[in-house]
Structure 1
């Protein structure tokens, strides 16, 4: 080759760059006259520099809660028992949850084994950032927390087959962050 990437290589680079799909693997491209292997970081350095990875973002799948009355009628006593509350639903917000700017997932993929994957691309418009609120089966408990400012994506794994309370069981979550560049790759 003459030092220039072929049109086929540039097409692959553009496709992968648009999908944030670079993970340092080899892609085989075929032409009518020859077969060659292209190492993507060499042909598409901008893709390697913008590589992203998914990291586990732990969710409390259950919590112990104890109901407490706001007021107690005179003469009555309360005996509150702790009960396990299972994570029932998850909402992603642009800003604080009390502002109620819920984001709709961009994709809902069906995975093998009855699993599913909801995905959001994060571009917060609010100065408060992106927040996640978790609602539990005990109905009155909601936990919320901001996602890291460096997160550019969020996804939730769930089991479509297990439906306690009529909702799919949430299995876990991940955030997408920019990967550290390999040695010698400029930022």
Structure 2
């Protein structure tokens, strides 16, 4: 019994021909040529795939040079107002910034809590929809949320929004 057969409980099958272990077979020139063509085809496809993957990876890869005693992390000098933020980060977290002076947020406008979180505030209701199931109706509202310079739009349950932010719903008579 071969080690493969002992391990997997079946005989080993070869890619070229149907030769069993221990028996010899005459392989003609056509089958050898066929097998060589298949190997070349597989090798060619693997090279194309590898080249394609390398071209995708090279677009995102940046050339970084480090010397002896260089550190691969940066430490920021933050003002005392932002002392709750961890000042050290790894270079892999860096992303290319394409912007100008308009993308700089003044430090005075950033308000931090001890939990290092900011508060989103609903700005206005953009849309309203009613989803019907078999015997229930769920009303959702599309809310524009604003947090400093970031804005996002999310569907929220209308009942929860009315309970937490009643000033967004000035009169319910227009909604009915």
Q: TM-score range by the shorter chain?
A: under 0.3
**Structure with the bigger percentage of helix:** 2
TM-score where L is the length of structure 1: 0.19
**Structure with the bigger percentage of strand:** 1
